[in-house]
Amino acid sequence: MNIAELVRFKNDLELSPEAFAGMTGFSFNRIRRGRVQGEVNFSSERLAMIGRGRRLYTLALELCGSREAALEWIYAPAPSLGKRSPIDLTITDLAFERVERLIATLKNAAQPVASASASGEPLLPLALVAKAETKEPETKETTLQESQNDVPTSAATPAAAVKITPASTEAKGPKSDEKFRIAEQLKEARARVAELTKAEIARRMVALGFVNFTGAKLGRYEIGYEASWREITALASILKVKPEWLAQLGQAT
């Protein structure tokens, strides 16, 4: 593979440098610093894993109809996959077969609606079916990664299980739909917990019930887009700061 293909692979899946290294066995920092040129040689095992990652991205786009929805589905824990996210099961052909079967099932479930449309545009019901599959009940404690006998742990997911208690739907302080700019505070809070990548924060937000949350959305908040008070409350719990501080309404913890 050449450098351009590797960069496109990383960007398509919004992989963190750590996740990229876990899937490819190759440091992205070397590419970023211009230390690698031309073709990069990988073992057949690594090439196969990269190929599964690329296929996952293509299939998710077809399933969900948009890049944002596809990335959300790729990183969201799915009950049918033992609460693993689809990206975690790219580690072997056998594990990835479970993802392909799930996608086929979701497409078949949406087929009656799809056959009724002749617009040729991506159909929203496909994305809705995918969301219904990945969303967990908000009253249930969720583990982002559980031990499964038949599926090995992926390097794209933290090795230790992370327990997250769903955020309360009754947000305190401002109204839950009131919005605030949090760019500067968010950057500062993330700098304190540098081990939490955008993808990891997005996974935790999804586990808290924010099924539309992605790393791309977090990036938009860092450049000045407004976040709802309910999202701010959840982000504050992940970043271990006070939501009032994140929304510029009070002091940090």
Mean pLDDT, all residues of the chain: 75
Cα–Cα distance measured from residue 74 to residue 194, given in angstroms and rounded to the nearest whole number: 23
Q: Are strands 179-181 and 142-143 parallel, antiparallel or unpaired?
A: unpaired
Domain boundaries, the chain: 3-137, 167-246
Q: What is the pLDDT at residue 53?
A: 93
Q: Which fold has domain 167-246?
A: 434 Repressor (Amino-terminal Domain) (1.10.260)
Pick the range with the lowest mean pLDDT from 37-41, 52-56, 72-76, 145-149.
145-149
pLDDT of residue 126: 52
pLDDT value of position 51? 94
Can you give the pLDDT at residue 75?
86
Nearest to 43 by CA among 62, 26, 68, 64: 26
Query: Count of alpha carbons within 13 Å of 154, Cβ hemisphere only?
Result: 27
Average pLDDT, stretch 121-141? 47
Q: Average pLDDT in the 206-212 region?
A: 80
Of 68-82, 143-157, 223-237, where does mean pLDDT reach its minimum? 143-157
The CA distances from residue 105 to 29, 35, 63, in Å, are 39, 44, 11
pLDDT the model gives residue 134: 54
